[in-house]
Amino acid sequence: MEHGPRPKVAPRPTWLPLVFAWEVMTMAFFTGKTLYDGAWRAYVNRSQVWNAVGMWAWLLHRITGLALVFYILLHILLMGTFLLQGRSAFDALLSLLMGNPFFLGLDLLLTAAVLYHGANGIRLLLFDLGVGFNRQKEIFWTFMALAALVYAAVLWVMVPEILARWR
Amino acid sequence: MAALALHFWFLHYQQPGAIIDYSNVAVRLRTVLFVTVDLSLLACGLLHGLNGLYQVLLDFGLRGRVQVWTARILVLLGVLVFVLGLSSVLKFAVTA
């Protein structure tokens, strides 16, 4: 595919990285304040992005997504192999996973991850379809409220079960 | 999402505290509805998850031959895990 003639730019001199390194060292040595100011300015500028809920929503979506991928692979491998091994092996595995309060607690973490990733995912789907383009924050918090309600119902049901098994 | 919601409901929250066992699974996986739900969940979950993992790896700068081979490995992993899940689900349908 043709993009037209490549613009002529002066080649970067090979000594430029050395000059840069020298400048950084002199700055660090004689003007610590400059380096500190630079770092502070970088932090302040970056924090303006992280002050918005959108960046946190994206980061949490990614973290929950990765956690769920690893979980789903483990889940399919575990359930698949133990189902194929027969009744006694599968029953032993399930009685551990569904009877032990530690694993029931891990299930609650899984549910939280699924609810967050699903709710934010529906918001992204609507965004891709052009629905609520200008109301992203409101839509995000609405879905989070719905997910929180569902999670509260899950906790209402499961926490007594976990506590009963803990004793 | 619908398949996942059904999966969660029937397995965990319809009878909270009940421990599922082999015969419970066998009864459920003899019905067409649950076989469909479970297989579609298996396919969609693997596709969505492995594609998401691939996108994350691309964001971290995967390029060229490494990118191509990563895609192939992820596809192979997805197919193998799907076949494992399929064989365990169909085991009950076949012996019904």
pLDDT tens string B11-49: 655 544 455 555 666 666 667 777 888 888 888 888 888
Using a 10 angstrom Cβ sphere, with 0-12 exposed, 13-18 middle and 19 or more buried, the burial of residue A68 is buried
Nearest-angstrom CA–CA distance, A111 and B8: 9
Q: Are residues A17 and A84 in the same domain?
A: no
Q: What dihedral angle (degrees, nearest 10) is formed by the CA atoms of B27, B33, B35, B40?
A: -150
> What letter does residue A8 receive in the DSSP assignment?
P
pLDDT for B96: 46
CA A75, CA A69: separation in Å to the nearest integer? 10
Q: Are residues A74 and A97 in the same domain?
A: yes
User: Tell me, what's the pLDDT at A11?
Assistant: 57
pLDDT tens profile A92-106? 788 778 778 888 888
Count of CB atoms situated within 10 Å of the CB of A34: 12
**CATH number, domain containing residue A145:** 1.20.1300
Give A66's contacts in chain B (Cβ within 8 Å): 52-53, 56
Q: What is the pLDDT of residue A154?
A: 87
| A108-137 pLDDT tens trace | 898 899 999 999 998 988 888 888 888 888
Q: Which two tokens stand for residue A48?
A: 């303006």
Q: Let me know whether A42 and A106 are in one domain.
A: no
Distance CA A135, CA A112 (A): 24
Residue B19 in domain: no
Q: How many independent structural domains does chain B possess?
A: 1
Containing structural domain, residue A101 = 53-166
Q: pLDDT averaged over chain A? A: 78
**A38 and A117: one domain?**
no
pTM of the model as a whole? 0.71
Q: Are A72 and B84 within 8 A, CB to CB?
A: no
Structure-model confidence comparison of residues A58 and A38, the more confident one: A58
**A86, A98, A154: residue with CB nearest B19:** A98
Identify the closest residue of chain B to A96 by CA–CA distance: B19
Residues B42 and B73 sit within 8 Å (Cβ to Cβ) = no
Residue B74 has pLDDT above 80, yes or no: yes
Nearest to A83 among B16, B25, B50 (CB): B25
With contact defined as beta carbons under 8 Å apart, do A162 and A101 qualify?
yes
